[in-house]
A and B are shown apart, each in its own frame.
Chain A
Amino acid sequence: MIKVIKPGIQLTIQDLGRVGFRHLGVSRSGSLDAYAHIIANRLVNNHDNDAVLELTVGLCELQFQCDTVIALHGADLNAKIDTQAVYPGWSYPVKAKQTLKFDTGHGGSRAYIAVKGGIECPEVMGSKSTDLGAAIGGFNGRALQSDDIIKITPYTQPWLCNKGALTPPKRKVIRLHQGPHHELLTPECINAFCTTSFTINPNSNRMGVRLDHNNSQIMQHSLSLHSLAVAPGSVQLPPDGNPIVLLNDAQTTGGYPLIGHVIEADLHQFAQFRTADSITFEFVTLEQATAAKSKLDAHLSQLKLSLNRYWTN
């Protein structure tokens, strides 16, 4: 068991998400930084889809009530087990009564804690992920609060793995597939979109990242479309000209023009942007998007190979 002393801004249970129900209006949910999620799980020899804890910005404190092994990945939020500093990309044995405490940090927004054997909670529609909007999954469909008890299975064997995983660098240029509504938007609008530097609006969350910029006048429009499916990674352009990048908790249909779709390999970056970070967009070909994805997959495979010798002994 793990007791929540302080949840911080938002602490939720997430796996890789709920799929197969979008036609019924059910969002994907799941870890925003799926890449950090998978690496954290691999570092403790879990299955990729095992549930982890996603914590936002830090200021979170957890007390372990049994022995286990944990791994951290994602943002570096200056974590400590009791007084010992611990880092993203490494695994650590933890004893009962020890405390894992996060301060804040500068290297990102969301940290992931994988626990050996995975976080235990009932599956709802095939997933353990917390859907905050629909109030389903995870811990009674809500973010964790002080004094909540998170269920895990104790792990008491010696822990010999001393391998770590690198944190991928933040990208400032986000790669996109071209959206289906380009011909409806003016060339000036598309051109402004490709050349503008956008900053992350504080009013961003697990549903989407809102972007501010100085060219919103050029990008304003009065298009109203029939509602169509949207998905994590869809970049909507509302009439005010300020784009929104939809993330895992976004609704399943929408009526704003879609100017692009973030390539799969870059989507996890949005989990880690902080308010006032700036980014630009670049349209790429399908081949470039596939190559970027293969590169990430290769990194994950390499990690699996290098860790395998610890698990087979």
Chain B
Amino acid sequence: MSTLPSIKILTNSSLLFDVSHYREQHILATQKKLWALSQYCKNTNEFIDLVPGMNSLTLYLKSASNLHQWQNTLTKLWDEVDDYAFESQHHKIDTYYQGEDLNYVANYHKLTIDEVINLHSKEIYHVLFLGFVPGFPYLHGLNSQLFTPRRDNPRVSVPKGAIAIGADQTGIYPEDSPGGWHIIAHTDACLFDVTASNPCLFKPGDTLEFVPVKRSKQ
């Protein structure tokens, strides 16, 4: 990681901090630094929003007058920031592996259902960033043996709590939404609850694992 980050002015009051030109194998290490950088910036109370993307962080300033100052200090901060300073939370997600497409995914990869469940549930996943709908985590860590092309016909409605695989990604649907991923499981975990003090279960940088459980009662 010798190259410098690119810092671009988006508007009078927003900056794009971009390290997407870094080599692919550093995805997680890079993302950890971005979360730490985001946390540092948040603590200054000078930002309305700090939004991580894939190998980028977009910074929305409260005051346009600080734009150039931040533009000039971000590279230095990037060198100094300690990715271990970032405090993540680990989540265990009770998972019912009885998804509508579980058989399809197993057949596609010539695996047994138990092998699919094992491959999916043995990994620790990182929440790279959120988007699409409130609380939807883009996860890093899917075993390459489970990479599955998206469905040819997206479902009009994927139910809330569905756990699905699309290409090299896996994710959990926080609400009923259209979707083209293969549903392999379901969870009762609530990813987005506006009445809670922390409305979203996950924040960028959190880790999670899928814990296989049997449905004991309906």
Q: Which A residues lie at the B interface, using CB under 8 A? A: 19-27, 124-125, 133-136, 177, 179-180, 225-229, 231, 233, 251-254, 258, 261, 263-264, 286, 289-290, 293
Contact = CB atoms under 8 A, between A and B. Distances in A.
Contacts of A24: 130, 134-135, 199-200, 203
Interface string B92-106: 000000000000000
Interface in B48-63: 48-58, 60
Interface in B88-142: 129-136, 138
A104 to B, nearest CB: 32
Contact of A252 (B11, B13, B131, B199): B131
Given A24-B199, A177-B11, A229 B58 contact: yes
Query: Which of A25, A226, A252: most chain B Cβ within 10 A?
Result: A25
Given A25-B134, A286-B9, A293-B12, A228 B50 contact: no
Given A25-B132, A125-B199, A264-B11, A228 B56 contact: yes
Contacts, number: 118
Contact of B51 (A22, A124, A179, A286): A22
A23 B203 contact: yes
B16 interface: yes
Given A180-B18, A228-B16, A261 B203 contact: no
B155 interface: no
A177 B16 CA distance: 13
Q: Is the interface on chain B under 10, 10 to 19, 20 to 34, or 35 or more residues?
A: 35 or more
User: Of B12, B38, B54, B56, which is in contact with the most chain A CB atoms at under 10 Å from its CB?
Assistant: B12
A247 to B, nearest CB: 15
A25 B11 contact: no
9 contacts: A20-B49, A23-B129, A26-B200, A136-B134, A177-B11, A180-B8, A226-B20, A252-B130, A252-B131
Interface string B142-182: 00000000000000000000000000000000010000000
Given A125-B199, A263-B11, A133 B51 contact: no
A184 B105 CA distance: 36
Nearest to A225: B20
B11 A289 contact: yes
A13 B36 CA distance: 37
B38 to A, nearest CB: 7
B194 interface: yes
B12 A290 contact: yes
A228 B199 contact: no
Contact of B133 (A124, A228, A251): A251
